[in-house]
Amino acid sequence: MTSRPLRSVLFVAGSDVHGLERALDHGADGLIVDLEEPQTPMTPAVRERARALVSSFLDDLPAEHPTIFCRVQPARTGGMWDDVMACLKPGLAGIAVPKSYGPADIHAADGVLTNAEAVVGRPLGSTWIYPIFETAEAIRQAYEIAVASPRVAYMGGAVSRFGDIHQALGYRWTAEGRETQWLRSKLLVDARAAGIRYPISGMWGGASDDLDGLRAFAAELRDLGYYGMMLGDPAHIALVHEIFTPTSAEVAYWVELDRLGADADRTGIGPVLYGDPNQGEGHVVHGAHIESARLNLEWARALGLTK
C-alpha cells in the first residue's frame, strides 16, 4: 500500500444522512466517517442506524472518490468488530482508531482487521490504521504506536478546543496554538521517525468564520512539516488546500535543483551553485539539498502538480 498526501481530512458523522449525501461534493482529499461517536447520546439504536447508513454510503461510492477512513470504537470496548464489519467495503482505505493508550490498542485493532478481512475476502493486511492521539499515554508513546503495525500509514494529533485531548492535558486553548505547539511537534517527529511519509495534524479549534486564525494555524503546521490537517467544516477545504499545496515557485526551484544535480552527476563538475551568493547555504548546492528537492518533487507529483 502506498500512502498519498492528504491535505484535508474531513470528518463526517455516520449518523447524518444529509452529511453523507454531500460528503463527496466538498473536494476533500480524505474523509473520516464517524461510527465511534457521531452524535450524543449514542444509543444502541443510533449506532445501528449509523452502521447501516455508512454501509450503504460505502456501497454506493463512485469509481473516483476521496481516501476514506471510518472512525470505529476501540477494540477494548467490544464494539470494533461490528463497526468494522459494517464499513469494510472495497472503497474503504482504513479505520481511524480513537482513544488509544499504547501499542496494545493497535495490536488489537490489527487483529480485528485481520479476522474481518478473512471473513469478507479482502486481502490480509490491506486495510490501513490511522491512530488518533487523544490521551496523554498515547502522546507519550506515539512512536511505539506508529510502529506497532505495518498497517499504520497516517497519524493525526487530535488538537481540539474542548475534546478528549484537552481533558487529557488540561491546556487552555488559544487561537495562536502556543499551548499545543510542543504536542504537534512531538507527534510530527514520532511520525517521521516511524516512516510516516505525510503526517496529518488535528483540527482548527477556532470560530468557523475566523479565516485569518485558520490560515495562520494551517501555515504553522505546514512550516513545522505537516502535509495536511483534519477538518470539521467543509467551507475550510479550499483555504487548507492552498496552504498545503506547493507553490509554482517552489516547484520550479525543486525542478532546477534536480536538474543541477543530474548535470553534476553526468559531468562530474562542481561545485554546484544556484542564484545569488547572498543566499548563504542556498547558494552552494550540496547533495542533501538535491535530495530534499527530489523528495519535495515526489510530493508535488503525488498532488498532480508536475510529472
Residue 307 is predicted with a pLDDT of 83
**Residues above pLDDT 90, as percent of the chain:** 87
Tell which CATH classification among 2.40.240.10, 2.40.50.140, 3.20.20.60, 3.20.20.150 matches the domain 8-243. Answer: 3.20.20.60
pLDDT band at 287 (very low <50, low <70, confident <90, very high): very high
Q: Domain residues of the chain, as ranges?
A: 8-243, 248-302
In contact, 21 and 61? CB cutoff 8 Å: no
Given 3-state DSSP classes, what are the helix, strand and coil percentages for the chain, each rounded to the nearest 5?
50, 15, 40
37-86 pLDDT, tens digit per residue, is: 999 999 999 999 999 999 999 999 999 999 999 999 999 999 999 999 99
Under DSSP, is residue 204 helix (H, G, I), strand (E, B) or coil? coil
pLDDT at 159 exceeding the cut of 80? no
Residue 15 is predicted with a pLDDT of 97
CA dist 174 → 160, 166, 187, 219, 221 (Å): 10, 12, 19, 16, 15
